[in-house]
Amino acid sequence: MAAVTNSEKKAQEILRYRLFEATDHLSGEGWDHSVLESTENACRTVKNLLERTIVHGEGNSLLIMGPRGSGKSWVVEQVFRRLDSDVACRNNYIKVSLNGLVQTDDRLALQEIARQLDEDLGEKSALPFAAALNYLLEALKSGDHANQSAVFVLDEFDLFAHHKNQTLLYNLFDVAQSAQNPIAVIGLTNRLDVVELLEKRVKSRFSHRQICLLSDFEFEDYLQVFRAYLTLPEDFEDREYRIEWEKQLEDLVVNASVRDALRQQYNTSPDIGSLKTMLVLPVCRLGLRK
């Protein structure tokens, strides 16, 4: 078996990081969802909504729905990047991230909110949920977070709807609607019927703004995703190796057998997550040759 070169090791490290760990759209590498008009439109809509909360103190709520791999998380992270580059918004908000898989009840969610706001509930933890939450939000009017708006991002939003009495959702939507404190609530879910899970009192306080993202790209876009994940960065240290790599990658993209395999995968499951899973084995076997 031939020895693996340093360039091959480095290329494998980059691709494995991209597939397993990296949020590629944030680092400028790999697939950029902004190629799709639907996700770029969603970015503009979410950014405008959060700007109204951060700059004008307007309470807002929004649901982003779509199957896994459709770009929901990408939209949110991209919006925060754009807000951080905007002088009017930068340093004027604090992001609070919750996940329904982790915060499995409202008390855990409250503790996580307190942690991210750098507040100690202490004896306040014994208060009713609404009073404890209002105490935390009032803290945004003083100290290090003075005059900052709070943006709550609830991933796996549908799981929060299964909490007892939906207390967390009710109070967050109620605060957003009352405009006592400038907050925005963004829910991410892969369930299109999630609004039907909400109790009547919760539903009445939700703004009913919804964005639905679908994996609506064509096969040629899918090939672009494939090519983007396997492309080495321009600053790759071994220039000759990168040139040869890119040449072989282009040969791979036009290869009939490869295109047939990709089309079969596209027809079966056109989401990006499935494509990444498909690429794991060949990337891990990179450099293993007899």
pLDDT at 245: 93
User: Averaging pLDDT over each range in 174-178, 183-187, 223-227, which range is the top one?
Assistant: 183-187
Residue 27 has pLDDT above 80, yes or no: no
Q: Tell me the Cα Rg of the chain.
A: 22
Pairing relation of β-strands 149-155 and 183-189? parallel
**Residue owning tokens 């963004």:** 186
Q: What is the pLDDT of residues 231-247, one digit of tens each?
A: 998 888 889 999 999 99
Question: Which are the contacts of 174, defined by CB distance < 8 A and separation ≥ 6?
Answer: 130, 205
Quote the pTM value.
0.76
Residue 218 DSSP symbol: -
pLDDT at 121: 65
pLDDT band with cut points at 50, 70 and 90 for residue 22: low
In the three-class reduction of DSSP (H, G, I as helix; E, B as strand; rest coil), residue 2 is classed as: coil
pLDDT, mean over the chain: 84
Looking at residue 152, its amino acid is F
Residue 161 has pLDDT above 80, yes or no: yes
Q: What is the pLDDT of residues 104-154, one digit of tens each?
A: 998 899 889 988 887 766 666 677 878 888 788 777 665 555 578 899 999
208 backbone φψ class: left, alpha, beta (φ>0; ψ -120 to 50): left
Least confident of 6-10, 29-33, 120-124, 246-250: 29-33
Distance from C-alpha of 73 to C-alpha of 156, rounded to nearest angstrom: 11
